């Protein structure tokens, strides 16, 4: 068994000894409060959905925003464009109730997330589309014609 706070076997009244004890106590307090206290308690509660991971692909013709959000339906998503800000959000609610002769059990949960992206001027906003398949949401952001990378042009000398 280890001590939480190191103790000195002998008594030393020097300033260095008091400083070391204070530093050890300070480190112990930092360790105590930097731990995730209560995770065991909170693991039994629905604390909401975390922000989903996002990949952004950049091809010659478009940007593709991929978001891993399994377990949702297409109707759970809300995708909006306001000026040059793309907002992707989802909200789900579920409720389960069981009634038996001597007891009633009722569980409910709520999850949501919201991600926003500022689009570059090169996106053709009128042609944005989205699809959801196998837990992956894809938002296709086509580039304007003038923004597409053109192949190198060889110039002949006359």
Tens of pLDDT, residues 80-134 = 999 999 999 998 887 777 777 777 777 777 788 999 999 999 999 999 999 999 9
Please say whether the dihedral angle defined by the alpha carbons of residues 80, 108, 42 and 72, taken in this order, is positive or negative: negative
Quote the tokens at residue 31: 């360790």
Q: Give pLDDT tens digits for 10-40.
A: 555 555 545 454 445 555 555 555 555 444 4
Distance in angstroms between the alpha carbons of the first and the last residue of the chain: 88
pLDDT of residue 29: 52
**Domain 46-147 belongs to what architecture?**
Sandwich (2.60)
Smallest CA-to-CA distance from 116 within 81, 86, 96 is with: 86
Position with higher pLDDT, 124 vs 147: 124
Q: Give the pLDDT band of residue 135 (cuts 50, 70, 90).
A: very high
Span 31-59, average pLDDT: 62
pLDDT of residue 31: 54
d(CA 70, CA 51): 12
Question: pTM for this one?
Answer: 0.59
pLDDT of residue 47 exceeding 60: no
For the chain, give every domain's residue range: 1-35, 46-147
Contacts of 120 (CB under 8 A, 6+ apart): 84
């Amino acid at each position: 068994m280890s001590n939480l706070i190191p103790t000195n076997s002998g008594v030393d009244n020097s300033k260095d000894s008091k400083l070391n004890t204070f530093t050890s106590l300070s480190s112990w307090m930092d360790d105590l409060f930097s731990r995730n206290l209560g995770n065991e308690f909170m693991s039994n509660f629905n604390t909401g959905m975390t922000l989903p991971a996002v990949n952004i692909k950049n091809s010659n013709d478009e940007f593709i925003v991929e978001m891993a959000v399994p377990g949702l339906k297409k109707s759970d998503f809300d995708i909006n464009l306001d000026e040059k800000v793309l907002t992707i959000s989802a909200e789900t609610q579920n409720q389960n109730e069981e009634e038996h002769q001597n007891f009633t059990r009722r569980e409910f949960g709520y999850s949501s997330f919201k991600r926003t992206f500022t689009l570059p001027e090169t996106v053709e906003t009128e042609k944005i589309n989205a699809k959801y398949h196998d837990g992956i949401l894809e938002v296709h952001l086509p580039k304007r014609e003038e923004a597409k990378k053109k192949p190198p042009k060889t110039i002949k000398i006359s």
